[in-house]
Amino acid sequence: MIQFEHSVFALPFALTGALLAARGWPGWRVVFWIIVAMVGARSAAMTFNRLADLRFDSLNPRTRHRALPAGHLSRRFAAGFTVVSCAVLVIAARELNPLAFRLSPLLIGLILGYSYTKRFTWLSHLAIGLCLGLSPVAAAIAVRGSVSPAILLLGAAVTLWVAGFDLIYACQDAEFDRSHGLRSVPQRFGIRAALWASGLLHLAMLATLVGVARLERLGWPAFAGLALVTALLAWEHRIVGPNDLSRVNAAFFTLNGYVSVVFFMTWAMAILGR
C-alpha cells in the first residue's frame, strides 16, 4: 500500500533543507530523526488517503485492485497504521526540538486534510504540492528552529514540482473524476491543458531553484544538478501526451524518483563543498 517511491519523492528535499539550514552536515542524530519523521508523515498521509478515497478506489478500474478495495487489508488495520504513523511523526518531532514538536499536530492536520480537497477544488494538486513542499521547511525548523528566505523558496520549488507531476498523474482519471463529482485540472480544463500547466509549473520550479542556488551562493555542482533535473523533466513531458497516457507511471514514479535523488546528490555536494 505504501511504495518506497512515496518517501523518495520528498525525503531528498527535506535533507537538502537540513543541509542548508545547518550550512553543512547537521549531524547523524538530527538526520536520523528527520528521516523517521518523514517516513511517518508520508505513511500516515498515504494510508489516510487510501481510507478517504476507498469508495472511489473501489469504483475506479485503475485503482480497484489496490490493497484496501481488494480486501487484502482491512479498514481497521489501515486506521491503526495511520495512528501509529502519526505517533511516529510526533515522537520524531519531539526528539528534534520543542518547536518541531509543537508544530507536529498542525502538520498532521495538513497532510491528512489534503485527501478531501479534490471534493471541492480543482486546485488539489497545489494542496498535495504544499504538503510535500513543507518538507525542507520542516527540516530547517528541526535543525535551527527557524527558516530562511532560501528555505522558503526551496519549499515553493518542491510545491511546484509535486503539483506539476500530480497534474500528469491525474490525467488518467479525468473521465472518472468528471462522472463522480471529483475535481481536478484535467477534469475541469481537459488533459491537454493539464499537461501544459504541468510544464509551466516545472519551469517555475527550475527558475525558483536557480534563485535558491544564487541566494546560497552554491557552486557548479548545484547548477550541474539543475541541468540534469531539467533533462529528466523534459523527458518526463516527452513520454506523456494527450493521446498517449500509457507511460504515466514511468513519468510519475521512475523519473521523479531520479529527479529527487539527482537533486540531492548534486546539491549536497555543493553545500558540503563550499
Identify the pLDDT of residue 249: 80
pLDDT digits (tens, 9 = 90+) for 121-130: 999 999 999 9
Q: Yes or no: say if 208 and 216 are a contact pair by the CB < 8 Å rule.
A: no
- The pTM of the full predicted model, rounded to 2 decimals, is 0.95
Write out the three cell numbers for 166: 500530480
Please compute Rg for the chain using Cα positions: 18
Structural domains in the chain, CATH included, are 4-272 (1.10.357.140)
What pLDDT digit, counting tens, does each position of 216-260 carry? 999 999 999 999 999 999 999 999 999 888 888 877 778 888 999
pLDDT given at position 7: 66
pLDDT reported for residue 6? 63
pLDDT reported for residue 253: 76
Question: Which residues, given as ranges, of the chain have pLDDT below 50?
Answer: none
